Structure 1
């Protein structure tokens, strides 16, 4: 077999005791995947657009055509072909493939009463998109299984509580969604570089009906755009008349967003930038994302107003942060400019930021590889102690 076969296995509508759930079968020449999406707000769809978003990366990586045992909207299909053209021009180890549905249909225009949803993780980008668009946004969506593992139940409960609190404060609906979609995407590409936008798009497509527009918070300003998993120049290509997908990029850089959120008590009380699994902690206060955000808030003089970062900012820990990609240096560079323009005398913190920037990339990668090996050893030793 030299093609992927995409099928919808089942659709379970919402009931009094359960949320809606859809399951796809994605059969590739090397492995079969059973992918489900369940949660509030999901709607029955006339086509398999969500499944295409999950399967197309594997096809482009291996050169396998995609056979769809269902229909696709005409405008969506045209958009996916344009997406493949732009994506493969940027990532040359992928190639465009043929998509062969059983048929096509003309999507109907979303009703005027359809809502506007935005993905929300509690991070700086999603908080900024939400606050900036609070007059239009009616729903926020969080995907369990996206950056928090499905079996990390304490963290899931904490995220749900935060999202619900933010939704109630702003008068919007909270739509929690759960999915195991990560595996089929990560087996054929890098999650940050190629895949995470497709995961968001797959869930967005399942909201079409009650929702007419879905916003994907952009990580980079319009001037900073670069090809990666969620990109200004490709996300919208998965739209059609039934659903508009908007990559929410704007003139604001990350530091502009942090400055804005520093004046928003709701954000300071609920900001979640961390994906590390640390028992009993909402933000670990140790990882690169925590360090960069805590550094910004400290320079702005509001870190003590952010209870979601319970540990003090240690300059030595800031200095130890390793940046394995050149593009990540933009964040400490912004913090350094912010500090020098603030006029504050934080010399230890300034030296720590400079240490991040000046560390060679190969050294950062070596240290991170060594750290992962040590963590794996600790994990195996812990298992042996339990066994014996």
Structure 2
């Protein structure tokens, strides 16, 4: 995989870095272009920051897991930081160990540079409006009050990840709410970022195994000269961590000489995170956004697994009444259509719901507990039946193929 030297341009008030990316495996093409070449780009408001020279770091991280999935070498057209190169070598071994069937360690071809660590005191956090990203802000407020540590100063909201580049209506709705100065502290710098990085990934690198983590790391690298610390929100406690595109083991590998990247923080459960937000930055809950389905432009549909899960957690923290952004109210009957992903692949989702059920039992929410207990059993056996049926179909198919092959040889 070849990353051509990048270009920095300014247009219509936005700064854009872009590089042409080329696949080397015969027959492989990008979906968006139908060819082996596609431009990879990231842009943001020009008044936030304009790089003084091209840097290969952002593009190297974004393309890394794609090249690993295709087992191609990665040729990086611009220089990258020496410490980032060392970290990439470590990250490849982590991904290879975690996902041996879908990726491999590859050869890197690049040149490096060394620059001293930035003296900036700024802390950037990826900001989606969800619980994990709001916790980063609230927990840093708590830690600043208790220990005097630096608070979050830069909020990065991205179009092109869970909000598609083609969904401008949802993007503008979300951006207008999350960029409301009343929703975050004075002195914070809000930055709306756009990228087509997911177009590069989706066809080749599984999203939850190799996808979004390196992209976030690459975007953070765009701002390493001005933001010394970057936070990527955690998804679970250490006890529930599984191999993942973004984890406390791999995310620090996106650090470079100028910038430290942290997976923040696996110390707290989702319910504990909500309690911290409610205690130290309750104003952030008014525009909480967690939904990825967004039917008919809904901000939070109130019906999908993540909406139901978050509403339950908010209820258990006595915060649900403060969140008016769900299109459907939460009732015990809301859980009757709960659909969970296959347990073996996404067991941390099941861990969330088991924690919720235990909390319901402790809090005396018997009506929710009864329905949730029934739904967890139903989902478990439903998924198991589907797996068994798929295995039987596969066995029948392979048996038929073996019989046909034997008949051909007999003739």
Offset, 1:281: 2.2
Residues 6 and 78, structure 2, Cα contact 8 Å, conserved in 1: no
Separation in 2, partners of 1:130, 1:115? 13
- Matches of residues 106-255 of structure 1 in structure 2 within 5 Å? 106-110=114-118, 112-134=119-141, 135=144, 136-165=151-180, 169-171=184-186, 172-255=188-271
Matched-pair contact (CA < 8 Å) for 1:295–1:335: yes
Alignment of 1:305 onto 2:322? yes
Query: Could you tell me whether the CA contact under 8 Å between 2:183 and 2:286 is conserved in 1?
Result: no
Task: Work out whether 1:359 is the aligned partner of 2:351.
Answer: no
What does the per-residue CA deviation read over 1:337-370, in whole Å, with 9 as the maximum and x for residues that have no partner? 1111113xx4332122113321244724989xxx
Q: Residue 143 of structure 1: SS of its match in structure 2?
A: strand
* 1:49 correspondence with 2:51: no
SS at match of 1:148: coil
Structure 1 range deviating more: 132-141 or 90-99: 132-141
TM-score by length of 2: 0.82
Checking the alignment, whether the CA contact within 8 Å between 2:6 and 2:56 is kept in structure 1 is no
Provide the C-alpha distance between the structure 1 equivalents of 2:380 and 2:20, rounded to a whole number of angstroms: 40
Partner of 1:342: 363
TM-score where L is the length of structure 1: 0.86
Whole-Å Cα distance in 2 between the matches of residues 11 and 204 of structure 1? 16
How far the C-alpha of 1:236 sits from its partner, in A, is: 1.0
Please state if 1:84 is matched with 2:89: no
RMSD over aligned CA atoms reads 2.1
- Bigger Rg over Cα: 2
Is structure 2 residue 333 aligned with structure 1 residue 316?
A: yes
Partner of 1:271: 288
Q: Which residues of structure 2 form unaligned runs of 5+?
A: 30-36, 145-150, 387-411
Taking the aligned partners of 1:366 and 1:208, their CA distance within structure 2 comes to 49
Q: Who is 1:373 aligned against?
A: none
Partner of 2:14: 19
Instruction: For 2:381 and 2:209, locate their aligned partners in 1 and report how far apart those are by CA, in whole Å.
Output: 19
Matches within 5 A, 1:251-262: 251-262=267-278
> How much does 1:132 deviate?
0.8
Does the CA contact (< 8 Å) of 2:138 and 2:276 recur in 1? no
SS at the partner of 2:184?
helix
* Distance (Å, rounded) in 2 between the aligned partners of 1:200 and 1:295: 28
Distance apart, 1:12 and its partner CA? 1.0
Specify the SS of the correspondent of 1:26: strand
- 1:356 aligns to what SS in structure 2? helix
> Does the aligned pair in 2 maintain the 1:324–1:365 contact within 8 Å?
no
